[in-house]
Structure 1
Amino acid sequence: MQNDLPIRKIIHVDMDAFYASVAQMDNPELIGKAIAVGGGGPRGVISAASYEARKFGVKSAMSGRLAIKLCPHLIFVKTDFERYKEISNRIRKIFYDYTDLVEPLSLDEAYLDVTENKKGHPSASMLAEEIRTRIFNEVGLTASAGISINKFVAKIASDYNKPNGQKVVNPEEVLDFLEALDIRKFYGIGKVTAEKMYQKGIYTGLDLKSKSLAFLESNFGKSGTSYYYIVRGIHNSPVKPNQIRKSLAAERTFNENLSSEVFMLEKLQLIADEVAKRLSKSKVAGKTVTLKIKYSDFTLQTRSKTLPYFVADAAVILETAKDLLYQEKMSNSVRLLGISLSNLNTVKKPKKTEEDKAISVQLSFRF
């Protein structure tokens, strides 16, 4: 069965080692050197690494201690989110010269729907090349891009020719591209899910495609339904400009592990105050409070509670976080605590569209 939806031309633009590249651009002495953004100090965790550092195995979310063992000459630089936002806004202005259908995923990546674009250009790949050239000439940074019929394939493709490259997956190439893909390359399939798939004999897209819808739903729940259609090139989620915020959070990593709940409560007070400040700034409130706990052995635990009303007050958030803290005993000392508020009053329940019901894609024109 085929649907009547038009084939879209989607570009996924992903900046190359964004935070690290900004640091190198602002300080030319760092160009060509192995640097890590964040991660300094005995308890630091790395936010980003330059390509020179990645060659030694340094990557984001790694502890600074491990990174320096892997790369003894590693240079640590401080994060500067105001600078990243400034650069990100300049890049987005370039995007809007081509289309209003821009969906930012973070400061350093976005989807662009250029099916109908402001330049009236029929080639999405040539538009992607022009956008990347403008980013380099006007901002001073390199970007990579993936171009295809939907967001899922475009995002995977953008990682193929990094840094400073792009990959096109034309409509007639999509199915072969997905079938040959290592299951770990599928966006949204993490380490745990990949291991579970290995146990079920699923190593590639072709293996995934061989499984029935009933099998995937039975073993992977709602995600199984998504996997069934995605590997068949069916992913009709449109590019959504002006994405509504779905959650708001704050967290702290401590200089020393905390084993006393008294000390944890002091930290939670500061975190709750920060969350309330961000809620006030964004003029939102939420019902679901989630406590994030990272233990000294790096295991992660979350505990959530949904209230019958919207809250934005620091005192209420703190009391709810306290209840969650005392919900069960700590299994170890704690290195990080975080509080997030979700189920916000900005989020509306989505209505089912024809796109949600669609189960196939017409593969008709070149990019």
Structure 2
Amino acid sequence: MLLPNAYRKIIHIDMDAFYASVEQRDNPEYRGKPLVVGGLPEGRGGVVATASYEARKFGIRSAMPSKKALQLCPHALFVRPRFAVYKEVSRHIREIFSRYTDLIEPLSLDEAYLDVTEDKLGIGSAIEIAMQIKKAIKNELQLTASAGVSVNKFVAKIASDINKPDGLKFIGPSAIENFMEQLPVEKFFGVGKVTAEKMKKMGLHTGADLKQLTQDDLVKHFGKTGRFYHQIVRGLDDRPVQPHRETKSMGAEDTFAYDLTETEEMHTELDKIAQTVADRLERYNLKGRTITLKIKYSDFKQITRNQSFTQPIGDVQTLSTTAKQLLLATQPDDVRIRLLGISVSNFGELAPKVKRDDVPEQLKLF
């Protein structure tokens, strides 16, 4: 465990039902009603992006097929997402964060880590800063956020989910070990449904159960992530909040309101994504030698295919043509595609460090 004088002050801010809350704020007729933002149920393969808390009471969750959501709540209201609006709101939220610290690590449009060990205003208390941020978001944007406060990123993120919505939870150093022992395994970083089921079949239901295994045992059963489990169950997470990152790749992706089934539709979307990537590369004066195509199918299976070139490229025509060729090689007939993405990497010489706030968000529906 870190020595007391080495403790960081970490805040994790997570907006409450972000897309749905923005829609309810801007449209009074949606307030207090079960609202679903995402693909419409009459569309092909529509999925839920976000559900309001009124809709969640009926069991509606993100990434759920919209048709199933309608079955769970026949009187739910369905609206398409307005990503341009959400992105602008997100920029305002980041501006609020920056009043207190420059150590901001955005995870998506609606959540971020903040390191306030040394805050700009000399407040000194991470709890007080979290309260002020929540108040500013409510006053300036008429939205609510939940905050988790602790000495590391993992615990702060878990804490922000405990008292949602509009919650604030502090988990101090002396409480971390007991907290981690009681945490269900499905709440651990890297533990999806399949891994959680595997753990439970092994009799591992909580952090306390995981703590009984050695690091070698965890690595044997769960690969390199086992090392992280071994550390975090003991409250150890030294990952810093990273406001800057070396640019190793640059790209864009889109999750569609309905599954794509026609090759022509896929090509049209790839043209749009290629243009976005080309614009971003031009903005940062970057060219790369490797183009990667990302595909996610309706069953959530995900694959990537890439092609490398002898010379750096970044023009929209090469991006689009290459992505279509890579798509064709996957035999896209008789499939349903939920997401497509294009990225460029292998920049060769050291790429510039880019502020996370400056990297355009990749908008996703879940």
TM-score after normalising by structure 2: 0.84
Structure 2 residue aligned with 1:178, among 152, 177, 180? 180
TM-fit CA distance, 1:154: 0.1
Give the 5 Å matches for 1:95-106: 95-106=97-108
8 Å Cα contact 1:291/1:304 also seen in 2: yes
* Alignment-derived partner of residue 258 in structure 1: 261
Conservation of the 8 A alpha-carbon contact between 2:190 and 2:225: no
Identity of aligned residues (%): 47
Structure 1 contact 254–335 (Cα < 8 Å) conserved: no
- Counterpart of 1:111 (choices 101, 110, 113) is 113
Aligned to 1:32: 32
Residue by residue over 1:218-248, the C-alpha shift from the partner in whole angstroms, topping out at 9 and shown as x without a partner, is: 2222211122111111111111124456442
Deviation string for 1:52-104 (max 9, x for gaps)? 11111212222221111111111122222221122112222221221121211
Q: Is the 8 Å Cα contact of residues 10 and 111 (structure 1) preserved in structure 2?
A: yes
Residue of structure 1 equivalent to 2:308: 307
Question: Which residue of 57, 60, 63 corresponds with 1:55?
Answer: 57
User: Helix, strand or coil: the match of 1:105?
Assistant: strand
Which one of the candidate residues 233, 239, 242 is aligned to 2:241? 239
- Aligned residue in 2 for 1:149: 151
Could you tell me how far apart the structure 1 residues matched to 2:82 and 2:110 are?
A: 14
In structure 1, what is the equivalent of residue 362 of structure 2? none
User: Structure 2 counterpart of 1:183, which letter?
Assistant: V
The alpha carbon displacement at 1:279 in A equals 3.5
Which stretch has the larger CA shift, 277-286 or 131-140?
A: 277-286
Greater CA deviation, 74-83 or 151-160?
74-83
Query: In the superposition, relative to structure 1, how do residues 214 and 263 fare at CA in structure 2: closer, same or farther (>3 Å)?
Result: same
1:251 and 1:125, CA in 2 relative to 1: closer, same or farther beyond 3 A? Answer: closer
Aligned-partner SS, 1:37: strand
CA 1:247–1:188: 2 relative to 1, 3 Å:
farther
Letter in 2 for 1:249: A
1:65 aligns with 2:82: no
**Conserved? CA contact 2:260–2:266, under 8 Å:** no
- Distance (Å, rounded) in 2 between the aligned partners of 1:62 and 1:247: 29
Higher alpha-carbon deviation: 15-24 or 307-316: 307-316
Counterpart contact for 2:295–2:339, Cα < 8 Å: yes
Change (3 A) 1:266 1:132: closer
Cα distance change of structure 1 residues 33 and 208 upon mapping to structure 2, 3 Å threshold: same
* TM-aligned CA distance change 1:294 to 1:99, over 3 Å: closer
Note the C-alpha offset of 1:281: 4.4
Code of the residue aligned with 1:178 in structure 2: it is M
In structure 1, the residue corresponding to 2:343 is in which secondary structure? strand
Candidates 241, 247, 252, aligned match of 1:249: 252
SS at match of 2:161: coil
Distance 2:259 2:86 in 1: 29
Please show how residues 75-86 of structure 1 align to structure 2 within 5 Å. 75-86=77-88
Task: Compare 160-169 and 77-86 and name the one that shifted more.
Answer: 77-86
Q: Structure 1 residues 100, 124: CA separation in 2 closer, same or farther (over 3 Å shift)? A: same
Aligned residues of 2:250 and 2:277 also touching (Cα < 8 A): no
Whether the 8 Å contact between 2:47 and 2:65 is mirrored in structure 1 is yes
Specify the code of the residue in structure 1 equivalent to 2:115: D
Q: Is the 8 A contact 1:37 1:49 kept in 2?
A: yes
Q: Residue 280 of structure 1 aligns to a residue in which SS?
A: helix
Show structure 1 runs of 4+ deviating over 6 A.
1-5, 346-350
Correspondence 1:6 to 2:6: yes
Secondary structure of the residue aligned to 1:23 is helix
Distance 1:123 1:294 in 2: 43
Describe the shift of the 1:255–1:146 C-alpha distance in structure 2 as closer, same or farther (beyond 3 A).
Answer: closer
Instruction: Provide the residue aligned with 2:43 in structure 1.
Output: 42
1:303 is aligned with what amino acid? T
Correspondence for 2:191 among 184, 189, 192: 189
Task: Report the alpha carbon displacement of residue 332 of structure 1 after superposing the two structures with TM.
Answer: 4.5
Q: Residues 291 and 337 of structure 1 are in contact (CA less than 8 Å); yes or no, is this contact kept in structure 2?
A: no
Unmatched tracts of structure 2, length 5 or more: 354-366
CA gap of 1:118–1:266, structure 2 versus 1, over 3 A, is closer
| Structure 1 residue identity aligned to 2:73 | C
The yes-or-no answer on 1:18 pairing with 2:24 is no
TM-score with structure 1 setting the length = 0.84
For 2:121 and 2:259, the matched residues in 1 are separated by: 55
Paired residue total: 348
Q: Structure 1 residues 310, 219: closer, same or farther in 2, change over 3 A? A: farther
Structure 1 contact 290–341 (Cα < 8 Å) conserved: yes
Change (3 A) 1:158 1:244: farther
- Name stretches of at least 5 consecutive residues in structure 1 with no aligned partner: 351-367
1:334–1:247 distance in 2 versus 1, CA, 3 Å: same
